[in-house]
Structure 1
């Protein structure tokens, strides 16, 4: 059996107060996913995308939660979901990082991270989470309103 990873969330933003925000960049607030205490945003920051959770319109936030809780299948990615998206608009047309999500009993597995639309593999994971902790973390990402 593979290692069980811890998952939790925390509010974050693209640039912290001590960092200099490059001119012309946006400082979007979002819900970051921590895996074993390490930020998924920090793990994948070099690709210049942010987590899809906790920002934007409420309808989109709920759709992301439904995807990651496997209540809904993505219309063209199926069980692969956009995990990190454009910090300006969140639109998949701007590019994104996706992850394949599957549930096996009480476990959820994130694997096969990809930079879309290049379909380029990113060497990260797999990560295995216990369903209860995973479900709580994903539900905690959904907030009302849009913060930038």
Structure 2
């Protein structure tokens, strides 16, 4: 079988959760993505909301079984030597649809070929094949080294968030919203008496508006003493979907050059958005009215091609103090509207 060699690697990735403008919830999933020739394989699949089988929230035994399956140490789970490469982020049902491929050995090399969109036990490469993707030939030592590192404790860790501040209504609602999308959240007045082992469970810390700079500095020192590189989030406004988006962005530890959503700015009635590959982008504005009512407006929801784009914002939706959230399936950016 002839195919040029491609490089194989792995990188942390996430399916961004969130509280959407229509009130729906989108579940947060951390996973390990496949990087082919320096670029996430998921990016080649355009607007696909999916995760790899190497998700952080599956039991360790199943995670290990998935890795060994990709190493061809067990039989293929689907007909024709097929393996699930990306599946539904909400469940594991093949009926929702999945990207599958044949994985096979050729000498010491591993080959991924015949990518298809599959929604039942039998694949149809002619009808549902990704004809412009692959085949990919990976050198065996590089392939085994990357996947083998996951068996040595290199799997992604499930994210949790520590919310610092008085036990006020906003933090309670924020914690409930985070838990509803699969992110653990606890509320504390400070981190002084929290054991180091417990602090290591957190990927981010978010501060309530009543927390002063001295208290914030003390929390940072507690995490530093525990050797925890947590992201620290200063909430832009007491708007729960906005705060959830800020935390989602803070939890994104994927390399900057491997994110689809690269840039977001908003000023003069326009949002400036940059994406690295074709993908669906949703742009939502939030503002607080005089009586502290939250006003939400869907400004844009469509597929954008790679590059920078200017998206018009409704003047009524951005008057006063207002904010913009842009999200793809795997990235979230938040910005205040500049006057």
- The verdict on a shared fold, with TM-score over 0.5 as the criterion, is yes
Q: What is the aligned partner in structure 1 of residue 129 from structure 2?
A: 121
Deviation of the 1:136 alpha carbon: 1.5
Q: 1:132 is matched with which residue? A: 141
- Following TM superposition, where does structure 1 have runs of at least 4 consecutive aligned residues deviating by more than 4 angstroms? 144-148
Task: Say whether the 8 Å CA contact 1:9–1:140 is kept in structure 2.
Answer: no
Q: Structure 2 vs 1, CA of residues 43 and 27 (structure 1 numbering), >3 Å: closer, same or farther? A: farther
TM-score by length of 1: 0.83
Structure that is richer in helix per residue: 2
Count of aligned pairs: 144
SS at match of 2:79: coil
Counterpart CA distance in 1 for 2:158 and 2:79 is: 26
Other-structure match for 1:65: 67
Q: What pairs with 1:4-83 in structure 2 (closer than 5 Å)?
A: 4-15=5-16, 21=18, 23=20, 24-55=25-56, 56-83=58-85
Separation in 2 of the partners of 1:57 and 1:145? 12
Aligned partners of 2:99 and 2:118 also within 8 Å = yes
Distance 2:82 2:72 in 1: 10
Distance in 2 between residues matched to 1:43 and 1:22, nearest whole Å = 27
Q: Structure 1 residues 60 and 106 mapped into 2: Cα distance closer, same or farther (>3 Å)?
A: same
Gaps of at least 5 residues in structure 2 are 160-181, 183-339
- Asked whether the equivalents of residues 9 and 141 of structure 1 are also in contact (C-alpha less than 8 Å), the reply is no
Q: Is the 8 A contact 2:42 2:48 kept in 1?
A: no
Q: Distance in 2 between matches of 1:139 and 1:87?
A: 24
After TM superposition, give the deviation of residue 66 of structure 1 in Å.
Answer: 1.6
Q: Which runs of 5+ in 1 are unaligned?
A: none
Name the counterpart of 2:89: 87
